[in-house]
A and B are shown apart, each in its own frame.
Chain A
Amino acid sequence: MDMKRDYYEDIRLFNSGVVLFWTVALMLVLFTLPLYAPNYYVYLLNIIMVHIILAVGLNILVGSTGQISLGHAGFFAIGAYGTALLMAKLQIPFVVALLAAAFIAAFFGFILGLPALRLEGPYLAIASLGFGLTITHIIGGVDLFGGRMGVKVPPLDLGISQLGVSWVLKTDFQKYYLILIITILMVVGARNILKTRVGRSFVAIRDSDIAAEVIGVNLTIYKTLAFAVSAFYAGIAGGLFGFILGFFDPFTFNMILSIIFLVMVVVGGLGTVSGGIMGACLITYLQYDLLKNIGEVPYFGAFMVTISQLWFTTVGLENFSSMAIGLIMIGIIIFEPLGMFGIWIRMKKYWMTWPF
Chain B
Amino acid sequence: MPFGQLLVEGLAIGACYGLFATAVVIIYKTSEVVNFAQGEMAMFSSFVAFHILAVYQYPFWLAFVIAMLFSILLGVLIEFLFLRPAKHPSLLGMIVITLGAEMFLMGLASWKWGAEQKFFSLPLDPSVTYEPVKGMIVTNWAIAVFAVASTIMLLLYVFFKYTRLGVAMRATQQNKHAAKIMGIRTERVFSIAWGFSSLIGAVAGMFFASRATLDPAFMMEPFLRAFAAAVLGGLMSIPGVIIGGGLMGLIENFFGYYWPSWKPIVAFIVIILVLCLRPSGLFAKHYVKKV
Contacts and interface: CB of A to CB of B under 8 A. Distances in A.
Q: Is B truly associated with A?
A: yes
Interface of A: 62, 66, 68, 114-115, 118-119, 121-123, 125-127, 129-131, 133-134, 137-138, 141, 210, 255-256, 259, 262-263, 266, 270, 308, 311-313, 315-317, 319-330, 332-334, 337
A114 B279 CA distance: 13
A312 B100 contact: no
Contact of B265 (A134, A312, A332): A134
Contact of A141 (B90, B216, B261): B261
B110 interface: yes
Given A121-B91, A320-B107, A326-B104, A126 B227 contact: yes
Interface of B: 28, 34, 82, 85-87, 89-93, 95-97, 99-108, 110-115, 216, 220, 224, 227-228, 231, 235, 261-262, 264-265, 267-269, 271-272, 275-276, 279, 289, 291
Contacts of B101: 326, 330
Contact of B107 (A121, A270, A326): A326
A122 B89 CA distance: 14
A122 B92 CA distance: 8
A312 B112 contact: yes
Contact of A122 (B91, B97, B107, B276): B91
19 contacts: A119-B275, A119-B279, A123-B235, A210-B291, A256-B103, A262-B96, A262-B99, A266-B92, A266-B96, A308-B111, A315-B115, A319-B115, A322-B104, A323-B104, A328-B100, A329-B100, A330-B96, A333-B96, A337-B89
B114 A315 contact: yes
Which of B90, B100, B265 has most A Cβ within 10 Å?
B100
A311 B112 CA distance: 7
Nearest to B86: A334
A125 B220 CA distance: 15
Contacts of B86: 333-334
Nearest to A63: B92
Contacts of B103: 256, 259, 322-323, 325-326, 329
Contacts of A133: 224, 264-265, 268
Contacts of B231: 123, 126
A123 B279 contact: yes
A334 B85 contact: yes
A141 B107 contact: no
Nearest first, the 7 closest Cβ-Cβ pairs linking A and B are A329-B100, A130-B268, A326-B104, A323-B107, A326-B103, A322-B107, A319-B110
Which of A68, A115, A122, A308 has most B Cβ within 10 Å?
A122
A266 B103 CA distance: 15
B275 A127 contact: yes
Nearest to A330: B100
Which of A125, A134, A326, A334 has most B Cβ within 10 Å?
A326
A255 B227 CA distance: 15
A130 B106 contact: no
A126 B110 contact: no
A122 B87 CA distance: 19
Contact of B96 (A118, A126, A256, A263): A263
B92 to A, nearest CB: 6
